[in-house]
Amino acid sequence: MCKLPDMMHKKYLRLFLILLIVLGAMGWGQFLDVNVDLDMRRLSEGDRQLFITMTEDIKDYYLNTQFSSDLGDLGMMIDIHLVLESVSRGGSQTTINAQAIISNKLDQYYYAKGVQFPYSRGRKIYYSTSFDPLASFLDYYAFMFIATELDTWNYMGGTSFFNRAIAMADLGKDSDWPQGWDDRWKKVRKIKNNQYLRSMRFSYFEAWYIYKYAEEPDKNVLETSMNTFYEELQEINEKLGSNKETLKFLDAYHINIAELLAALKIWGGLELLRIYDRDNKKVYESYLKN
């Protein structure tokens, strides 16, 4: 006869195993919020029926794919606007031609032209290390977002993921579906090699976290971080001029940046921003006046 403690032990063991299965089914992806919008205005009503499940399939892919086992849930969001331009058929294969806008509604914004992939109604998307025209397209931008996020945690912390995006673009260029991949290869290399902006990003986030959340903010660390921010902005201004990625970053965080520079009396930084980031000139001027 089974003793009561043994029965209870087996009961809770079963419950524990069920919990693990349920949690595993939920996924451990790096994205927490995924918005997908399909623009099918250029397609016939018949062709639109191909994409009945695509919106949810892309959402599920980003929410449930673990792009790195070393990273937990980063809590990131991604917004995808996919414009489906045409559907062509040849033999047993249906090819989709599209363009896309991928963003996080803050400082990450990418326009992708020449998006091309084979597709069939209800086709599921699976993560693989092998090249797949649709999954690899989604992976590329996942790597870009993760790389940029990790750059805010550690100095140049996203390098390995920028490298993964470069490797993915290399596979795309050499595949049977090369359209658009050369542009993506150039884009990721440009962003990875802009170490001034990457350093600015880390310096700002390091300073803002200390300034906003530390019980006793270390002024020396704050000054070091924001002076580095200022120096890197000077380098961008002198060597790169009006840089689109830098301006996007500044537009997303200009109020906090201005507050930090003013609090630390780094007036030169505000003066430079007033000239460099003209769209937000009035904000910088308001801090300079005060």
* Confidence label for 14 from pLDDT (cuts 50, 70 and 90): very low
> Helix (H, G, I), strand (E, B), or coil: what is residue 92?
coil
Same domain, 218 and 275: yes
Question: What is the per-residue pLDDT for 119?
Answer: 97
- On whether both 70 and 208 belong to a single domain, the answer is no
Lowest mean pLDDT among 28-37, 143-152, 167-176, 271-280: 28-37
Cβ(207)–Cβ(260) under 8 Å?
yes
The set of long-range contacts for 268-274, using a CB threshold of 8 Å and a minimum separation of 24, is: 268/230, 269/226, 269/229, 269/230, 269/233, 272/230, 272/233, 272/234, 272/237, 273/233
- Identify whether residues 285 and 226 lie together within a single domain: yes
What integer is the mean pLDDT of 218-231? Answer: 97
Average pLDDT over residues 126-130: 93
> Are 83 and 201 found together in one domain?
no
The reported pLDDT for the residue numbered 71 is: 84
Q: Position of tokens 């790597």?
A: 143
Residue 208 is part of which domain span?
A: 196-289
Q: Is the same domain home to 214 and 185?
A: no
Tens of pLDDT, residue by residue over 50-97, are 999 999 999 999 999 999 888 877 899 999 999 999 999 998 899 999
pLDDT mean over 230-244: 98
Are 171 and 68 in the same domain?
yes
Q: What is the mean pLDDT of residues 136-140?
A: 98
Q: Are residues 189 and 201 in the same domain?
A: no
The structural domain count of the chain equals: 2
Q: Do 124 and 210 fall within a single domain?
A: no
